[in-house]
Amino acid sequence: MDSLDDIPPAPKKAGPSDAAAAKPASPPASAGPETPGPVLPAQDRRGADLYACLLTSPHAAATIASRDAAAAKALPGVVDIFFASDLDDRNRLRPLRPDEPLLAEGAAYFWGQPVAVIVALDEASALAARDAVRVDYHPAQSILDVEHAIAMQSYHGDAVSISRGDPEKAITEAPHRFAGKLDIGSQLPLPRDTLSARAVPDDDGGLAVWTAAEVPSRVRTAVAAGLKIPESQVALHGMPIAGATGGRQTEAALVATLAALAAQRARQPVALRIDPAAATALTAKRHAVRASFRAGYDNDGRLLSADVELSIDGGWIVGDSNAALDQMILHADGAYFVPHFRVTGRLCRTHHVTGAALPAEGAAQGSLVMEEILTRIANRLGLSPAKVRDLNLYRETGNRHSTHYGQPVDCEALQRVWNTLIGHSEFEARRERIDDWNRQNPCYKRGIAAVPVKFGLGDTRSDRNQAMVLIQLLLDGSVCVRLGCIDNGDGLPLRIAEEAARQFGIPAHGVSVRCGDPNLTPHMTARIGANTVSLMRRAVADACDQLKQRLRPIAAQLLAAGGMAEIDAETIRFAGGRIAA
């Protein structure tokens, strides 16, 4: 089942309370191929679920002069139509982005921004009503790229800068110098499923929500805030998602909250499905960047000084863009030591949907700028780009082992990995053969490159550097591990099972791993970033240690009761499926 429309009808009609009582399908227990999503439960939709769709802005920038839904509400099958004015102070995506309205208020700030929610008995009625809603837009001047934002001085807040040494003086005194620009485009994550959510109210004022989200706990928090009910009254069922790419974090919360509001107003189950075109407009993209830089270097290709300015497309609101800006500034040195270095970043305000926290967001763009600088140095001097990179790597000698923000670098590991890569790949020999080929073939060219990477694990937001697991020891000796994250098909459950099995000294098949149930693990961790696996493994190890500390005194008593001499509980080991002293 790839969408809400694929849910088969049940044999009998069910009311809202019946729908709320039904249990969702279980998520995958272990690693495997990527799971298509969202796989929603086969609840009764024949006469039970209402269908909801969005009316979105056709303009990137416009004021909204008036709204008229009278004709649309008179159409057959239409149940409800609501705008921002009908939600009052609930029209905010709290607490994730308190400055972001769920529905456009007095103006629209990007193409595809939701303006109204239409609820009807079926899809055809909802779409007909959407076409009948009249909204009077007054288009305004839009800012659609970073260059235009710079010209208009359209920014979110002030610039952020980190500096070491005296870049201006060092560039002026360098034997060689140059200035340049680099435009890094945006990127759209394309999950195989579209944005959708299903909300079923219950008789106690709460509701159950089904949706495919990368961080289900954030969805529950947003839904509870939007409905002004305690989080404990929101039963969230996170469904499998086809690859965690960053496009299902805040967007899923927005869609689920709108579906929940529609269900609360109608007091019936509501299924909200965003069509692919509208979902593309709502889905956050990777941040586009314009980098301007000046650099000074010597005859050998050693970078002596650099001054980098990063202008980032921050969209219409800040959202996650501040964190992306931080990562760009912290990774602007790449894997290289620059004696005199300054990096400055600014968030540009444009009429785009705000940027997303995609894999390596900020780190990729920041590192790419430094790689471009070194490539241009190599081309200007006629040197091998790989040799120029090797010359500028962080090193223990010559006080070249500290970043521009003062963190020491493990230079020995960096140099060892780089030398191993160049040596084992026979890089220089292959490059010479490629050069020979290119000289003899004017049309078809080949290339080869090697790039060192220094990637900082973790997030600049401390709340993102946490993980939660729940471990249950069952009577038959098997172990159930519940992870506070979704399973995106990358093999994490298998690695967690191996870690838990190693901790308790049991076979891996004796460990069951479950993912993505925020009702059991309320704190959920995003799957974006290489630190997720490390965080989860450490959380599992910590939980296993706590359980073993509780078990050791009991095991010591049982062993003593069995005739063994008194033993120290700390000497008890868990290995080979047994507990022994």
Whether 351 and 143 have beta carbons less than 8 Å apart is answered as: yes
Verify that 420 and 563 share a domain, yes or no: no
For 333-381, write each residue's pLDDT tens digit. 999 999 999 999 999 999 999 888 777 888 899 999 999 999 999 999 9
Q: How far apart, in whole angstroms, are the C-alpha atoms of residue 49 and residue 64?
A: 31
Asked whether 61 and 142 are in contact (CB, 8 A), the reply is yes
Q: Is residue 554 part of a domain?
A: yes
Q: Is 257 helix (H, G, I), strand (E, B) or coil?
A: helix
Structure tokens at 92: 């905010």
The pLDDT of residue 2 is above 70: no
414's enclosing H/E stretch is: helix 411-424
- Tell me the percentage of the chain whose pLDDT exceeds 70: 89
Answer for the pair 303, 297: CB distance below 8 angstroms, yes or no.
yes
Of the CA atoms within 13 Å of residue 32, those in its CB half-sphere come to 11
pTM of the model: 0.83
Residues 482-508, mean pLDDT to the nearest whole number: 90
- pLDDT tens digits along 438-457: 999 989 999 999 999 998 87
How confident is residue 555, by pLDDT bands cut at 50, 70 and 90?
Answer: confident
Stretch (H or E) spanning 385: helix 385-392
CB 308 within 8 Å of CB 290: no
Identify the sign of the CA torsion 518, 521, 526, 529. negative
CA distance 29 to 512: 7
pLDDT at 525 (0 to 100) = 85
| Mean pLDDT across 135-149 | 95
Final residue before a domain boundary, out of 237, 259, 282: 282
Question: Would 51 be classed as within a structural domain?
Answer: yes
- What is the 3-class SS of 281-296, one letter each residue? HHCCCECCEEEEEEEE
CATH of the domain at 561: 3.30.365.10
Residue 513 CA to residue 247 CA, distance in Å, equals 25
pLDDT of residue 116: 96
Report the C-alpha gap between 229 and 111 in whole angstroms: 32
List, as one string, the DSSP characters of 229-253. Answer: S-GGGEEEEEPP-S---STTSHHHH
Handedness of CA 98, 99, 105, 110 (dihedral sign): negative
Cα–Cα distance between 313 and 54 in angstroms, integer?
Answer: 26
Same domain, 397 and 496: no
Cα-based distances in Å from 232 to 26, 205, 207, 235, 414: 21, 11, 10, 7, 48
Let me know whether 79 and 212 are in one domain.
Answer: yes
- Say yes or no: 328 and 269 in one domain: no
Whether residue 454 is contained in a domain is answered as no
Average of per-residue pLDDT across 506-530: 84
Q: Tell me the pLDDT band of 17, cut-offs 50, 70 and 90.
A: very low
Whether residue 299 sits in one domain with residue 359: yes
Bridge partner list, 62: 108, 139
Please answer whether residues 551 and 520 qualify as being in contact, where contact means their C-beta atoms are separated by less than 8 angstroms: no
* 70 shares its domain with 126: yes
**Going along 437-494, which residue ranges are E strands?**
469-473, 479-483
d(CA 198, CA 268): 11
391-401: pLDDT as tens digits: 999 998 888 99
pLDDT mean over 412-420: 93
Look at residue 35 in the predicted model and tell me its pLDDT: 36
Rounded average pLDDT over 150-177 = 95
Helix (H) or strand (E) holding 208: strand 207-211
Mean predicted confidence (pLDDT) in 206-225 = 89
Q: What is the pLDDT of residue 243?
A: 56
Q: What is the pLDDT of residue 126?
A: 95
Residue 532 within any structural domain of the chain? yes
* Residue 420: its H or E element: helix 411-424
Is the pLDDT score of 197 beyond 70?
Answer: yes
Looking up tokens 């591990």 gives 481
Range of the domain at 527: 466-580
Distance CA 183, CA 291 (A): 6
In angstroms, the CA 263 to CA 199 distance is 6
pLDDT at 113 over 60: yes
Lowest mean pLDDT among 10-14, 240-244, 268-272, 530-534: 10-14
* Residue 504 to residue 577: CA distance in whole angstroms: 8
pLDDT in tens, 25-44: 333 344 333 333 333 433 43
Asked whether residue 271 is domain-assigned, the answer is yes
Is residue 356 within 8 A of residue 321, CB to CB? The reply is: no
Whether 461 is covered by a domain: the verdict is: no
Q: What mean pLDDT, rounded, does the chain reach?
A: 86
Provide the 10 A C-beta neighbour count for residue 175.
Answer: 10
Structure tokens at 250: 């805040």
Residue type, 245: T
Say yes or no: 153 and 210 in one domain.
Answer: no
Structural domain contains residue 300: yes
Buried b (16+ CB within 10 A) or exposed e, 234-265: bbbbbbbbbbbbbbbbbbbbbbbbbbbbbbbb
Does residue 231 sit in the same domain as residue 242? yes
* pLDDT tens sequence across 299-318: 999 999 999 999 999 999 99
Asked if residue 357 and residue 338 are part of one domain, the reply reads yes
Residue 67: is it exposed, middle or buried by C-beta count within 10 angstroms (0-12/13-18/19+)? middle
Tell me, yes or no, whether 277 and 317 share the same domain.
no
Within this chain, do residues 180 and 241 fall inside the same structural domain, yes or no? no
- At 213, the pLDDT band (50, 70, 90 cuts) reads confident
Distances (CA, A) of 522 to 494, 512, 519, 545: 22, 19, 6, 21
Claim to verify: residue 80 and residue 65 sit in the same structural domain: yes
- Residue 130: left if φ>0, alpha if ψ -120 to 50, beta else—which one? alpha
Q: State what percent of residues in the chain have pLDDT above 90.
A: 62
Owner of token pair 């540009």: 348
Residue 83 DSSP symbol: -
Confidence (pLDDT) at 438: 95
Domains: count for the chain: 3
Residues 484, 487: Cα–Cα separation, whole Å = 10
Read off the CATH number of the domain in which 103 is found. Answer: 3.90.1170.50
CB 210 within 8 A of CB 24: yes
Which of 238, 257, 282 corresponds to the end of one domain? 282
Q: For 531-546, write each residue's pLDDT tens digit.
A: 788 889 999 999 999 9
Distance CA 69, CA 555 (A): 70
- Strands 289-297 vs 176-184: parallel, antiparallel or unpaired: antiparallel
Q: Is the pLDDT of residue 268 over 60?
A: yes
Mean pLDDT, to the nearest integer, of 511-536? 83
User: Of the candidates 284, 294, 291, which has an alpha carbon nearest to the alpha carbon of residue 312?
Assistant: 291
User: Does residue 368 belong to any structural domain of this protein?
Assistant: yes
Higher-scoring residue by pLDDT: 21, 134: 134
Ranges 247-251, 508-512, 550-554, 574-578: which has the least confidence = 247-251
Q: Is the pLDDT of residue 530 over 80?
A: no
**Residue where a domain stops, chosen among 282, 297, 313:** 282
